[in-house]
């Protein structure tokens, strides 16, 4: 398949009072058109840094990002971003939050009627058209995240970047949004690059899972092909030997002490928001 996104020899250093901190070390990765790829690893290994470099929010110290054969160094509507925090403007309605992105990208290209139709179309994609006149404080956390996804999709990005988009949600809402994301991505054929801490989420959604070694100087430790047929049904996957094999491969990597130096085993993640989550497939519904 055609390479859509390429990370070429990406290194990232940050200045600190104690000297330079090397966050990423020679990251090389090719993502195919329409591929769903997840980045996973322990907290602090540089996953979000990779995503921010691709988004153009950070500039790599060395190397670069290539989209469709062209190097990019700044944000652009060809790369839509969905954050863990929905980042909706509280004084705008659901419709207004999506309209903000549409007017920025299509203000001179679509008539007002076309813009309204496009906004409503993207809200329908995430099943939020019924709440278009509500403000963020009037809707649930899962609904807010749906609006964030609709806003990103409304820019008609070539690549959708997602930074733990469901991490702050309860298990049932997270499962529902995962299902919605799989349906939308299958319909639109959008290339997706997602950061996650959740092993089950990575296997359920991805075509490939990229595992990063523990930093500093984080590198790609392993790339796992998730050769599971689509569309994917979580209940069927709960009984799938191939699913459990993929899950075990990731868990083994995360807990076998893979690091840049491999001098000592990596610590198990501490309990809390930054932990590596292992329970997205419930028991017979979401395994945990």
All domains in the chain, ordered by first residue: 1-78+158-288 (3.40.50.300), 87-156 (no CATH)
Residue 225: closest CA among 32, 24, 42, 6: 32
How far, in whole angstroms, is CA 51 from its chain's centroid?
A: 8
Cis omega (within 30 of 0) on the bond before 9? no
Tokens for 102, please give them.
């549409």
Q: What is the pLDDT of residues 251-277, one digit of tens each?
A: 999 988 544 334 444 333 333 333 444
- Alpha-carbon distance of 27 to 54, in angstroms, equals 12
3-state helix, strand, coil in the chain (%, to 5): 35, 25, 40
Largest CA distance in the chain: 61
Task: Provide the percentage of residues in the chain whose pLDDT is more than 90.
Answer: 77
pLDDT beyond 90 at 210: yes
pLDDT beyond 70 at 145: yes
Q: What is the mean pLDDT of residues 171-178?
A: 92
The DSSP secondary-structure symbol of 265 reads: P
pLDDT beyond 50 at 202: yes
pLDDT in the model for residue 279:
45
How far, in whole angstroms, is CA 149 from its chain's centroid?
A: 11
Instruction: Give the HSE-up count for residue 54: Cα atoms under 13 Å, Cβ half-sphere.
Output: 36
pLDDT beyond 60 at 288: no
Full-model pTM: 0.85
Burial 40-63 (b: 16+ CB within 10 A, else e): bbbeebbbbbbbbbbbbebebeeb
Q: What is the mean pLDDT of residues 104-121?
A: 93
Residue 24: closest CA among 57, 56, 54, 62: 62
Q: How far, in Å, are 4, 170, 171, 201, 210 from residue 280 at the CA level?
A: 29, 10, 7, 6, 18
pLDDT in the model for residue 257:
58
């Amino acid at each position: 398949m055609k390479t859509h996104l390429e990370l070429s020899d990406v290194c990232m250093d940050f200045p600190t009072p104690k000297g330079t901190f090397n966050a990423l070390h020679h990251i090389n990765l090719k993502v195919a058109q329409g591929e769903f790829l997840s980045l996973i690893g322990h907290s602090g290994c540089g996953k979000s840094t990779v995503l921010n470099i691709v988004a153009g929010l950070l500039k790599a110290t060395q190397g670069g990002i290539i989209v469709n054969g062209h190097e990019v160094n700044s944000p652009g509507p060809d790369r839509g971003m969905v954050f863990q925090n929905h980042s909706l403007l509280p004084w705008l309605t659901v419709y207004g939050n999506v309209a903000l992105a549409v007017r920025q990208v299509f203000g001179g290209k679509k008539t007002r009627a076309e813009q309204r139709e496009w906004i409503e179309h993207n809200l329908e994609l995430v099943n939020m058209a019924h709440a278009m006149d509500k403000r963020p404080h009037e809707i649930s956390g899962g609904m807010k995240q749906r609006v964030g996804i609709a806003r990103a999709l409304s820019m008609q990005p070539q690549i959708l970047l997602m930074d733990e988009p469901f991490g702050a949600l309860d298990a049932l809402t997270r499962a529902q949004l995962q299902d919605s994301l799989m349906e939308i991505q299958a319909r639109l054929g959008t290339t997706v690059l997602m950061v996650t801490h959740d092993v089950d989420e990575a296997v359920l959604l991805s075509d490939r899972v990229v595992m990063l070694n523990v930093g500093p100087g984080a590198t790609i430790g392993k790339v796992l092909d998730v050769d599971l047929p689509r569309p994917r049904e979580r209940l069927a996957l709960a009984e799938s030997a191939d699913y459990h094999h993929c899950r075990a491969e990731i868990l083994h990597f995360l807990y076998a002490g893979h690091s840049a130096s491999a001098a000592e085993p990596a610590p198990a993640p501490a309990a809390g928001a930054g932990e590596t989550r292992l329970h997205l497939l419930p028991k017979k519904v979401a395994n945990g």
